[in-house]
Structure 1
Amino acid sequence: MIGRLRGVLVSKQPPWLVIDVGGVGYELEAPLSTIFDLPETGREVTLFTHYAVKEDTVALYGFLRESERSMFRALQKVSGIGAKTSLSVLSGATVDEFARLVHSGDIAALTRIPGIGKKTAERIVVELRDRVEALGAAALPGFGNRAVPADPVSEATVALQSLGYKPVEVTRMVKAAAAEGDTAEAIIRKALQAALR
Structure 2
Amino acid sequence: SLRRIKASGLKLQLCTNETQATRESFVRKLRALGFEVSAGEVTAPAPAACRLLRERGLRPHLLVHHDLVPEFAEVDKTNPNCVVLGDAAENFTYANLNEAFRFLIGMEKPVLISLGKGRYYKETDGLKLDVGAYMKALEYACDVQAEVVGKPAKSFFESALAELGVPAEQAIMIGDDIVNDVGGAQQCGMRALQVRTGKYR
TM over 0.5: no
Q: TM-score, normalised by structure 2?
A: 0.28
Bigger relative contact order (CA 8 A; separation at least 6): 1
TM-score, with normalisation over the residues of structure 1?
0.29
